[in-house]
Amino acid sequence: MEIFLYRQDAQSVEEGFSASHLPQLLADKTNVVWVDLMGDTDEGIEEAKQVLLEIFHFHPLTVEDCVETRNAPKVEAFPDYFYFIVHGIRPEETHHTNFVTKELDGYLGANYVVTFHIEKFQSIKVVKQNVRSSTFACERGAAYLLHQVLDNIVDLYMPIVDDFDTAINDLEERVFQTRSGYNILLEEIMDVRRAVARLKRISARQLEVLYRISHGEFPQIPAPVLPFYRDVHDHLLRISDLSENYRDLVAGLMDMHLSVVANRTNDVMKLLAIFSAIMLPLSLIAGIYGMNFENMPELKSAHGYYLTLGVMLLIAVVLMVYFWKKGWIFQPAEHEIKVDPSKEE
């Protein structure tokens, strides 16, 4: 548990308080208090529960939700404060196109922010540094302080969204390459598809939460701070739009993959048909002159063998011309298509 106190009169940020100081700090309405609770250990959770229930007297249900994970983003109003859940994301270690969500629970009151999280949050670390290095983040009150946390969380979505962009462009090139293992490619496409769908869903729920927070529904956020929340909302909206966009692109990838496989099966079939169409008649001719009839005059002619070979060659050439005219053979290769890397705005 870390407690930050900004005293308006002193214009300074102090640290190092413990839970027992809180009632007194909160009583002074000109103070801005930030309590950051970590739930990474059982003791941390116990302590958090105690602080939330016995010092802040938050609604027990919200405290329960705090401690649990697996909650969807939401915001709930109470007379003196509101409770919210938002999700941060970070890239998964092994798959660069996959990501892990982590839950941030929090409360905003008139002069305090409470945050609770089980995993470490890069964005909270950044805001703490800001708070320590300058009083700027605290001067505008608790609502502005919370805005900074949310802003940093949403900003960390962007690198992951950019990774999707790279991954989809990469897959698009590989879809047309002959040597790609079909099933490996397929699995990767499905991985991105799942990740994009998750991003869309997560940002949709968060958008609802941020929309409500940023449109003046909660009196804890004074009007001059609202534009800052709307700004966070708009950033998330852009991420949501991009993930919608990626969803279309991935669906397009899947369609392309299926078409490319169908085209290749078509190519294989053509090759087989050409080979069969040329070889079978020639084999038939050879088979005919391999018959053992006693009376087959051609067999006795001096040039019969050479004539037969000539006819075979002729048939082969005629059929090849026929298939070339149909466009089945000797077409320019088309696998070196350049995929335009700048297709996204």
CB 233 within 8 A of CB 208: no
The smaller minimum CB distance to a second copy, of residues 9 and 294, is found at 294
Q: What is the DSSP letter of 329?
A: S
Interaction mask 103-122, a second copy, x per CB under 8 A = --------------------
Of 1, 45, 261, 320, the one binding a second copy by CB under 8 A: 261
Q: Name the minimum Å distance from CB 279 to a second copy.
A: 4
**Nearer Cβ to a second copy, position 111 or 214?**
214
Rounded to 10 deg, the angle between the 182-214 and 226-288 helix axes is 160
Task: Point out which span in 8-16, 26-34, 36-44, 180-188 binds a second copy (CB under 8 A).
Answer: 180-188
Collapsing DSSP to helix, strand or coil, 179 comes out as coil
Q: Which is nearer to a second copy, 176 or 211 (CB)?
A: 176
Give the nearer residue to a second copy in terms of CB position, either 19 or 197.
197
CA distance linking residue 34 with residue 66, whole number of Å: 17
Q: Which of residues 201-220 bind a second copy (CB under 8 A)?
A: 201, 205
Q: Which of residues 279-298 bind a second copy (CB under 8 A)?
A: 279-284, 286-296, 298
The rounded distance, in Å, linking the Cα atoms of 14 and 82 is: 25
| Exposure class string for 158-192: b at 16+ Cβ within 10 A, else e | eebbebbbebbbebbebbbeeebeeeebeebbebb
The smaller minimum CB distance to a second copy, of residues 132 and 326, is found at: 326
Q: Is 330 left (phi over 0), alpha (psi -120 to 50) or beta?
A: left
Q: How many residues does the chain have?
A: 345
Q: Which of 264, 310, 314, 318 lies at the binding interface for a second copy (CB under 8 A)?
A: 264
- 174: CB partners within 8 A, 6+ apart: 180, 185
Residue from 191, 211, 315, 329 in contact with a second copy (CB under 8 A): 191
Residue 42 contacts a second copy per CB under 8 A: no
Residue closer to a second copy, measured from CB, 129 or 182: 182
Task: Establish if 53 lies at the interface with a second copy (CB under 8 A).
Answer: no
Single residue of 197, 315, 320, 329 touching a second copy by CB under 8 A: 197
Strands of the sheet with 81-91, listed across from one edge? 12-14, 2-7, 32-38, 112-117, 99-109, 81-91, 74-77
Interface residue with a second copy among 258, 314, 317, 321 (CB under 8 A) is 258
By CB under 8 A, the residues from 158 to 177 that bind a second copy are: 176
Count residues near a second copy (CB under 8 A).
108
From the list 8, 21, 55, 98, which residue makes contact with a second copy (rule: CB under 8 A)? 98
Q: Which of 20/94 has CB closer to a second copy?
A: 94
Binding map of a second copy across residues 312-341, x = CB under 8 A, - = no contact: x-------------xx---xx-xx-x-xx-
- φ, ψ of residue 297 to 5 degrees: the values are -60, -35
Phi, psi angle pair for 245, to nearest 5°: -60, -45
Q: Does 76 bind a second copy (CB under 8 A)?
A: yes
Tell which residue, 25, 33, 32, has the closest CA to residue 3.
33
Q: Does 15 interact with a second copy (rule: CB under 8 A)? A: no
